[in-house]
């Protein structure tokens, strides 16, 4: 049977797995139950074929991933902290009809705040600091990119010290291990998944690193903008183009891993994942496998 293109995301005390037309979120609650949410997807690329073109599809995938990712985090936050009112003999509970506690307004505010903080920390501030070092176009963009990368590394290092984030990184590792087991054609068990690496070339961390490298090349074409406002504007305007190019390069490198040039291309992303993934427990692998099995079952219908 042809393998489905499956990706995922670690959430609070769980994992979200996503296939081409469906997603499933598995979360371990405080009473040790594993609750599952399933959802059929209707990707924009399936409705508007132009959005499946190279570059454009990367932009669409990024936007849809942000939306689905925040929804998955919202669901997991509600379920992970909820105390069960009644004991249950079932290990897996279908919660498709359960009402979420965090509403859409709160989710929208969180998304806006996160995007604003990200733009300020990783776009505006590095460009402002780089302006003090040089007036030359390529050198300016190189310094800007290096500062942005250092900020990103520092950010990941700091949050990795937070206890709850460490557990999210463990679930991130569980997500990768279980996907590797599936891609290898093995039975989806905790034992089989645990044999695999926590580092995967299609990881979002690798994509973010690729974005930083591509942005240096793209912005170098235009030299140094004359003012901070224009610097900010050009970086925002070119986000879709950079995201699209980065998506295509990441996708190509993942599919052609046997070529030495592609291995070099994905190496920095794999190295970065040593910060964002941790070895999972057997229980965390169980959650990831449940999410993966659920989404594969939905894809086969």
Residue 36 lies in a domain: yes
HEC secondary structure over the chain? CCCCCCEEEEECCEEEEECCCEEEEEEECCCCCEEEEEEECCCHHHHCHHHHCCCHHHHHHHHHHHHHHHHHHHHHHHHHHCCCCCCCCCCEEECCCCCCCCCHHHHHHHHHHHHHHHHHHHHHHHHHHHCCCCCCHHHHHHHHHHHHHHHHHHHHHHHCCCHHHHHHHHHHHHHHHHHHHHHCCCCCCHHHHHCCCCCCCCCHHHHHHHHHHHHHHHHHCCCCCCCHHHHHHHHHHCHHHHHHHHHHHHHHHHHCCCCHHHHHHHHHHHHHHHHHCCCCCHHHHHHHHHHHHHHHHHHCC
Residue 293 lies in a domain: yes
Q: Is 198 exposed, middle or buried (0-12, 13-18, 19+ CB in 10 A)?
A: buried
Residue 1 lies in a domain: no
Compute the distance between CA of residue 82 and CA of residue 295 in angstroms, rounded to an integer: 24
The reported pLDDT for the residue numbered 102 is: 55
- Give the pLDDT means over successive 10-residue stretches in the chain (301 positions): 84 95 94 94 87 90 88 88 50 48 62 77 83 80 88 88 90 96 95 95 85 85 74 82 91 82 84 93 97 94 77
Compute the distance between CA of residue 44 and CA of residue 47 in angstroms, rounded to an integer: 5
Residue 178 lies in a domain: yes
Residue 211 lies in a domain: yes
What is the chain's mean pLDDT, rounded?
85
The reported pLDDT for the residue numbered 108 is: 67
The reported pLDDT for the residue numbered 89 is: 46
Residue 258 lies in a domain: yes
* Residue 227 structural domain: 7-299
Residue 2 lies in a domain: no
Burial 251-288 (b: 16+ CB within 10 A, else e): bebbeeeeeeebeebbeebbebbeebbbebbeebbbbb
The reported pLDDT for the residue numbered 293 is: 96
CB 18 within 8 A of CB 4: no
The reported pLDDT for the residue numbered 97 is: 44
Beta bridge partners of 271: none
The reported pLDDT for the residue numbered 168 is: 95
Compute the distance between CA of residue 154 and CA of residue 290 in angstroms, rounded to an integer: 33
Kindly report, residue by residue over 37-54, the tens digit of the pLDDT.
999 998 888 888 898 899
Residue 146 lies in a domain: yes
Number of domains in the chain: 1
């Amino acid at each position: 049977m042809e393998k489905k293109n499956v990706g995922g995301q670690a959430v609070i005390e769980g994992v979200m797995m996503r296939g081409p037309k469906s997603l499933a979120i598995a979360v371990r609650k405080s009473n040790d139950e594993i609750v599952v949410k399933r959802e059929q997807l209707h990707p924009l690329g399936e409705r508007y074929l132009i959005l499946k073109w190279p570059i454009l599809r990367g932009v669409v995938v990024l936007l849809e991933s942000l939306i689905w990712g925040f929804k998955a985090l919202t669901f997991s936050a509600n379920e992970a902290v909820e105390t069960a009112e009644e004991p249950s003999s079932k290990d897996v509970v279908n919660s498709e009809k359960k009402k979420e506690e965090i509403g859409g307004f709160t989710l929208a505010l969180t998304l806006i705040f996160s995007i604003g903080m990200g733009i300020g920390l990783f776009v505006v501030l590095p460009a402002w600091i780089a302006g003090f070092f040089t007036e030359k176009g390529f050198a300016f963009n190189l310094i800007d990119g290096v500062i942005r990368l250092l900020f990103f590394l520092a950010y990941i290092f700091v949050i990795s010290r937070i206890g709850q984030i460490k557990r999210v990184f463990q679930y991130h590792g569980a997500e990768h291990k279980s996907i590797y087991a599936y891609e290898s054609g093995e039975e989806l068990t905790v034992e089989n998944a645990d044999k695999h690496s926590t580092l995967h070339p299609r990881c979002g961390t690798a994509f973010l690193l690729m974005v930083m490298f591509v942005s240096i090349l793209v912005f170098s074409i235009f030299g140094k903008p004359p003012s901070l406002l224009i610097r900010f504007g050009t970086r925002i305007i070119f986000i879709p183009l950079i995201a699209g190019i980065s998506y295509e390069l990441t996708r190509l490198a993942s599919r052609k891993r046997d070529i030495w040039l592609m291995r070099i291309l994905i190496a920095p992303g794999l190295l970065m994942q040593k910060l964002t993934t941790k070895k999972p427990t057997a229980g965390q692998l169980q959650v990831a496998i449940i999410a993966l099995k659920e989404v594969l079952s939905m894809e086969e219908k």
